[in-house]
Amino acid sequence: MSILIKNGRIISASDDYIADIYIEGETISAIGKDLDVKPDKVIDASGKLIFPGGIDPHVHLDMPFMGAFSSDDHETGTRAALFGGTTMVIDYAIQTRGDSLHSALKIWKGRANGKAYGDYSFHIAITDYNENVKAELQDIIEKEGITSFKTFMAYKGALMIDDKQMLGIMNEVKKYDGLVAVHATNGDMIEYLVEKYKSEGKLTPWYHYLSQPEITEAEATGRFVDLAYLSGVNSYVVHMTCEGALNKVREATVRNQKVLVETCPQYLLLDASLYKNGFEAAKWVMSPPLREKKDRETLWAGIKQGLIQSVGTDHCPFMWNDKLKGENDFTKIPNGAPGIEHRIELLYSEGVKKDRICLNKLIEVTSTNVAKIFGLFPQKGTIAVGSDADIVIFDPEEKHTISADTHHHRCDYSAYEGLEVTGKTKTVFLRGEVAIDNDEVKVGKGYGKFIKRGVPL
């Protein structure tokens, strides 16, 4: 099958031009004007923007967590992602303590295989570092194509590792040029505050917010930055929320250290005033929590300054019934919020349209940089001859309102209910197939495939 997309305005991380794109099979075979080709199908994209398919570096699908499962699985989650122009996601396979990394990968691959609509890969979260795990890393990186590992400095007693384990992981991952990512908040400080509030009978979602103040994130980020410096590993801080944490990364640039940073739309757009909404605030109970308006400004500036390279959603939805488990105790509210569908539209509407970032930056942080950091470039993350034909046709003017009534997440509320956005994903190609067209999914369940990754560029 061959397709010609005509007259679209192609946006990459560095370019902005009008041209035609010729797709043959799964890849792009030509880009230019007046191409001498005989396509099976022609699509007119006049007046539309053309983006490379989005890659979401941070999602949790079908994840057992805090007594529940995240409510989108690989079927509904990757489908919702496609509706918003995200053609690939990188999910987290979490090692069960006492079990191997290979086993975690097998379990998560089993969850996704035959179900996903969009392409996918996994990071592996190492929760129990020991000699057996150490011996697995080379194979996982070089044979399995899993090149990034998440570590937790929080969730004490469940996922958290200590600094010695962190250094062990960093040292080993560095040998094979992989990357260590971190959930950087100080688990001991948080536990101290949680115990204090609980002993005082302070159990509403507001105290979730107060038990993870900015200093808990700044401290852990600084420590992670130092550990990464000592080991020399490729390092990446996930879901950064605040000024104090970003300043630790900024300071490290003085000694010529590069630490990669991800933030999320919720930290760019929402703030902690939402925790004043009684138990409804449980919708935004996530870790780290939403912050202050000054932090939002710092994060937008950090993207502009190149200190923040990627925007993931940390999509981790729970049905309201699961959130209710914490009605009388905020520590029992499953942490996480939905958002996989809205990342590109939110960043376009609130970022590009409001002059906070330019179109090229939008593509950088939602696709190109993610592909480079996670070993997918140039197969993915760009519109270029030879790359996968993962392409989004985007209407820059169409307005719509985000709502749980119309979103494609399997979640009975939205974190952005009632927000009007400008700009809409119209048509999405995934490896040369029309995957979404005018609000309808066109590929079948199971079309999405596991993509092996290389090391960071």
Binding site for ligand URP (CB under 6 A): 60, 183, 286-287, 314, 316, 335-336
Question: 270 or 286, CB closer to ligand URP?
Answer: 286
336 binds, among ligand URP, Zn ion, none (CB under 5 to 8 A by kind): ligand URP
Between 70 and 427, CB nearer to Zn ion: 70
Give phi and psi for 170, each to the nearest 5: -60, -45
Indicate the residue among 178 and 317 with the shorter CB distance to Zn ion: 317
> Which CB, 314 or 322, lies closer to Zn ion?
314
Q: Is 316 left (phi over 0), alpha (psi -120 to 50) or beta?
A: beta
Q: By C-alpha distance, which of 241, 382, 246, 383 is closest to 306?
A: 246
CB of 336 to ligand URP, least distance (A): 4
Q: How far is the CB of 184 from Zn ion (least distance, A)?
A: 9
Output 56 or 144, the one with its CB closest to Zn ion.
56
Shortest distance, CB of residue 103 to Zn ion, whole angstroms?
Answer: 21
- Closer of 115 and 183 to Zn ion (Cβ): 183
Which three-class secondary structure state does DSSP give residue 99?
coil
Residue 183 engages Zn ion in binding (rule: CB under 5 A) = yes
Of 85, 7, 145, 113, the residue nearest 430 (C-alpha) = 85
Q: Which residue has the tokens 């905020």?
A: 330
CA neighbor of 118 nearest in space, from 440, 431, 452, 438: 431
Site string for Zn ion, 123-162 (x = CB under 5 A): ----------------------------------------
* Euclidean distance between CA atoms 148 and 451, whole angstroms: 13
Q: Which of 56, 314, 322, 345 is in the footprint of Zn ion by CB under 5 A?
A: 314
Residue type, 195: E
Cis peptide before 378 (omega within 30 of 0): yes
Instruction: From the list Zn ion, ligand URP, none, pick the one residue 335 interacts with, judged by a Cβ distance below 5 to 8 Å according to partner type.
Output: ligand URP
Q: Three-class SS of residue 181?
A: strand
Q: How far is the CB of 199 from ligand URP (least distance, A)?
A: 24
Tokens for 166?
């962190």
Contact set with Zn ion (CB under 5 A): 183, 314
